[in-house]
């Protein structure tokens, strides 16, 4: 089997870029759905880093971690979307700046 020596550093850089893009998305968007999408991007970036590291040492652990991230993302999305539904029903808005009830 032939191996493909794609530089791991480059893949990790790509993961970093995606992660930062996710952060930017979470910060600049006011709509909760977009924030949730951006969180998905960040999770994907983290998974990419894991898989890259796993392939670098030819170990399955990276992929195992990605599967866990996947499971976590599924749970998070389901709960998050349910919360969005309720927020929309209560506030008739998805504006995150209107949800400041936890002000200390």
Partner 1 sequence: MKIHQLTYIAYCLKMNIFFYITAFVTLFSTIMVITRHNPVHALLYLVISLLSLSVIFFLLGAPFVALLEIIIYAGAIMVLFIFVIMLLNLGKETAAQEKAWLKPTVWIGPVILSTILLLELFYLIIAAQPSSYNLQIVDSKAVAISLFTPYLIGVELAAMLLMAGVVGAAHIGQQKKTVLHRFLKEEEP
Partner 2 sequence: MDHLLWLIPAFPLVGFILLALWGKHLSRFRTAIIGAGSVSLSAILTLFIGLNFLHSTPADGHYSQTLWTWFEVAGLIPKITLYLDALSLVFVFVITFIGALIHIYSVAFMAADKDYARFFACMNLFVFSMLLLVLADNLLLLYLGWEGVGLCSYLLIGFWYENPNNGYAARKAFIITRIGDTAMAIGLFVVFYQFGTLVIPDILALAPTTWQEGATVTTVTALLLLAGGLGKSAQLPLQTWLPDAMAGPSPVSALIHAATMVTAGVYLIARMHVIFQLSPIAQMIVAGIGAATLLIAGFSALTQYDIKRVLAYSTISQIGYMFLALGLGAWTAAIFHFMIHAFFKALLFLAAGAVIEALDHEHNMFKMGGLKNKLPVIFWTFLIGSASLAALPIISAGFYSKDQILWYAWASEHGNATLWLIALLGAFLTAAYTARMLLLTFWGDAKTAVSHYPGKFMTIPLAILAFFSLFAGLIELPHNFGHFTLFSDLLHQVLPETILRTGIHGELPFQLLAFLVTFGGVYMAYIFWYKKPQLIEKLKQSPPLTHLYRFWFSGWGFDQIYHVLFVKPVVFIANINKDDVIDKFYQGITILMVRLNRLLSVTQSGSLRWYIIGLVVGAILILSIQLML
The two three-digit tokens of residue 83, written as one number: 């919360």
What is the binding site for partner 2 (CB under 8 A)?
A: 23, 26-27, 35, 96-97, 99-104
Is the Cβ of residue 28 or residue 85 nearer to partner 2 in the bound state? 28
Within residues 30-59, the interface with partner 1 by CB under 8 A covers 30-31, 33-34, 36-38, 40-41, 44, 47-48, 51-52, 54-56, 58-59
Q: Which does 96 bind (CB under 5 to 8 A by kind): partner 1, partner 2, none?
A: partner 2
Closest CA to 51 of 67, 39, 34, 38: 67
DSSP 92: S
Confirm if 54 and 62 have CB atoms less than 8 A apart: yes
């Amino acid at each position: 089997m032939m191996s493909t020596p794609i530089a791991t550093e480059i893949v990790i850089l790509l993961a970093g870029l995606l992660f930062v893009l996710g952060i930017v998305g979470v910060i600049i968007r006011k709509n909760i759905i977009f924030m949730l999408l951006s969180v998905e991007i960040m999770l994907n970036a983290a998974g990419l880093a894991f898989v890259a590291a796993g392939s670098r040492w030819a170990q399955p652990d990276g992929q195992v971690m990605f599967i866990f991230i996947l499971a976590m993302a599924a749970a998070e999305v389901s709960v998050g979307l349910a919360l969005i539904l309720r927020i929309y029903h209560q506030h008739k808005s998805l504006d995150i700046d209107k949800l400041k009830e936890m002000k200390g």
